[in-house]
Chains A and B, each alone.
Chain A
Amino acid sequence: MSNELVASPRLDINDLVTAISDARAAYQAVANTASAPEKYELSQKVKALQTELRERLAEGANPCPRCDSPAVGVIHETEHGRRYEVGCPVCSGAFVHKDGTKRLTRVKDALMPKHAVEAWNAGPDFWMVPKK
């Protein structure tokens, strides 16, 4: 018998989205009947997949320059297709950038995850301006 460890194949983003949806459905199907430990185990599967997705979307992103927290990624299903966001999960609200404009600690509406990461890494010049 081989003791060789076999790594699980890395899921692509679409597969991760589907896996999260399936895991959440599995949890929700028994959320009102399962025991607390059973529910916890199922919700942890959801959490692990969500963590993997948000880290995958932010792969290559620098830590937040304001608080040093790891950046996270988000997918938005818009009327124009999928758009990607990368930002800090800790910093909240707007800050005043050196150019005098207010900025949020995130980049949004990128066509690809790597575009969001690139704009994030380029710094606040390319970060979101809050809506008035």
Chain B
Amino acid sequence: MATFNKFQSFVEYLAEGVMNLGSDQLTVALTASANAPVATNTVLANLTEVSYTNLSSRNISTSSSSQTSGTYRLILTDLVLTASGGPVATFRYVVIYDNTPTSPADPLIGWYDYGASSLTLADGETLTINFDGTNGLLSLA
């Protein structure tokens, strides 16, 4: 399973009300092996994304953003990326960011590293990004 990594600025953005994880539009961005995210990146503009030609929607559905017994959990619906009409550019990193705020624009949350072999989606192929279901993408305790 791909490792999830947190951008350091995320916790500050959250604490200062930049993001509403329950209602904002969380979105996936893809970057190639040569353009690895680093923990000190803060916004989408810091990254070099691949071309999204032939790729289905990158928008994530938020299932739940709530606390139980004082532990908050962000639960996202798995996202299926599909190549249609041709292949999708090779990528290695799947970045999650908040597409709703404009100041700062597109603050970053975290990223998955799918490993050195990278991924290519040929026409008709899919990649399911598993956000770990009820276990949650992230928790705050």
Contact = CB atoms under 8 A, between A and B. Distances in A.
Interface of A: 24, 27-28, 31-32, 36, 39, 42-43, 46-47, 50-51, 53-54, 67, 69-70, 72, 74-79, 85-90, 92-93, 104-106, 108, 130-131
B87 interface: no
B133 interface: yes
Nearest to A130: B1
Interface stretch (B35-43, B59-67, B109-117): B59-67
B24 A31 contact: yes
Interface in B73-91: 73, 75, 77-78, 80, 82
Contacts of A47: 22-23, 65-66
Nearest to B126: A79
Contacts of B61: 77
Contacts of B25: 24, 28
B65 A89 contact: no
